[in-house]
Amino acid sequence: MNENIQNRYTFSIDLIKQAGSIALSYYLNRNELVIECKKGDKQDQVSMADKSVEAKIRQAIAEKFPEDGFLGEESGYSGLDSEFCWIVDPIDGTSPFLNGLHAWCISIAVLHKNEIVIGMVFDPLHNELFHAQLGGGAYLNDVPMHTVEPAESVQDGLVGLGMSHRVPPKTILPFIHQLLVDGGMYVRNGSGALSLAQVAAGRLLAYYEPHMNCWDCAAGMLLVREAGGTANNILENDGLLKGNFVLAAANQQVYQQLDLMRAM
């Protein structure tokens, strides 16, 4: 194991848990939060909880690894050409968070020379830390996790879906139609990062969303791969800054079936 990666891995486990406890106290007092909308989209909300959790994470990283780059949903980026770069979503599932629902998490990934080497998703409400290091397997707390097995088709489990107003409805409607025609079923919980972690944990068979940003999914995609699943490359075609579609599945066979639906 690369010692520099290992140091960041150990550090990020403590960091994400601390961030989780700050986020949890905001969640428990969410009636006090002032909610703003981003870019005029009333479904894309943000509050002090997102901003202050990201600020704490960013400050802790800058103190411990000042040479590293950073990309966060709320505060933007710096030093993206550094050897290591942290990708942070302080609260993924802001809408469930603000509405008092249960699917939200903190997501932290680390890139080393443009490859995702650390992926961490923490769900404070259930005290579940999903974590993986490239080549080291994926874990739920201290227990190794694996994608659904055996799975031959979409009929063998639930497919998580995500959608936003960044892309038009037609980017997902034919997919849903074909999924149902093929005997599959979908769920949408409002947190793409947590859904990807659920694919890694074998709770969901797969996850699809027509467009996600890197901070939503970089950690979750490594979790899926390290748990034995298949996921597309989010970094392709300038994905670090522009985002991409996200498809992750328990295995190659289910991935291919869903990839055909995606192309419809």
The answer to whether 177 touches 170, Cβ cutoff 8 Å, is no
N-to-C CA span, the chain? 42
Provide the minimum distance between the beta carbon of 139 and ligand IPD in the complex, in angstroms, as a whole number: 22
Is 236 annotated among the ligand-binding residues?
no
Of 194, 216, 220, 239, which one interacts with Ca ion (CB under 5 A)? 216
- Using CB under 5 A as the binding rule, whether residue 209 contacts Ca ion is answered as no
* Region from 11-19, 90-98, 127-135, 222-230 binding Ca ion, contact rule CB under 5 A: 90-98
Is 44 annotated among the ligand-binding residues?
no
Look up residue 46 and give its two tokens. Answer: 């943000």
Provide the minimum distance between the beta carbon of 257 and Ca ion in the complex, in angstroms, as a whole number: 26
122: which strand partners?
106, 129
Of 54, 68, 92, 123, which one interacts with Ca ion (CB under 5 A)? 92
Provide the minimum distance between the beta carbon of 113 and ligand IPD in the complex, in angstroms, as a whole number: 26
Look up residue 36 and give its two tokens. Answer: 């703003």
Cβ closest to Ca ion, residue 96 vs residue 184: 96
Q: Which residues fall within 8 angstroms of residue 148, CB to CB, at 6 or more apart?
A: 156, 157, 202, 204, 205, 250
Cβ closest to ligand IPD, residue 117 vs residue 212: 212
* Region from 73-81, 108-116, 146-154, 229-237 binding Ca ion, contact rule CB under 5 A: 73-81
208: which strand partners?
161, 247
Give the residue from 107, 76, 115 showing the smallest Cα distance to 90: 107
Is 16 strand, coil or helix? helix
Provide the minimum distance between the beta carbon of 73 and ligand IPD in the complex, in angstroms, as a whole number: 6
Give the residue from 220, 212, 201 showing the smallest Cα distance to 107: 220
Q: Which does 209 bind (CB under 5 to 8 A by kind): ligand IPD, Ca ion, none?
A: ligand IPD
DSSP 151: -
Asked if residue 124 has a cis previous peptide bond (ω within 30° of 0), the answer is no
Query: Footprint of ligand IPD on this chain (CB under 6 A)?
Result: 89, 92-95, 162-164, 190-193, 209, 212, 216
Of 9, 12, 19, 89, which one interacts with Ca ion (CB under 5 A)? 89
* Region from 14-22, 60-68, 159-167, 215-223 binding Ca ion, contact rule CB under 5 A: 215-223
Please give the distance of CA 14 from its chain centroid, rounded to a whole number: 18
The annotated binding site for Mg(2+) is made up of 73, 89, 91-92, 216
Q: Under the rule (CB under 5 A), what is the footprint of Ca ion?
A: 73, 89, 92, 216
